[in-house]
Amino acid sequence: DPALQVGATAPLGFWDPCGFCKDNEKATFIKFRGAELKHGRVAMLSIVGFLGQPSWRFPGFEGCPDGFAALQSAPAGAGFACLFLLVGFFELR
């Protein structure tokens, strides 16, 4: 029962407004709980990158422009493509 899992608190209880766990299958609940943790971790890392962007760059990318102009420069566009493929690999794994 998802209502008995950690995270279901007293005022709201188990809150599933879209009905994703309507079937009460344990595998479905575990899958969505894992996705929630993964996306939360990605959000935390992205805010660290957002806040550290003005003062910290990867080695070799110090001279790249900021914003969308970076995608048109040679090293930054290739770096973005590699990062995109790496993230896609781990997301689909």
- Beta-bridge mates of residue 9: 13
At 33-73, the pLDDT tens digits run: 888 888 999 899 999 988 988 888 888 888 888 888 888 88
At 6-34, the pLDDT tens digits run: 767 677 667 776 777 777 777 888 888 88
Whether 9 and 19 have beta carbons less than 8 Å apart is answered as no
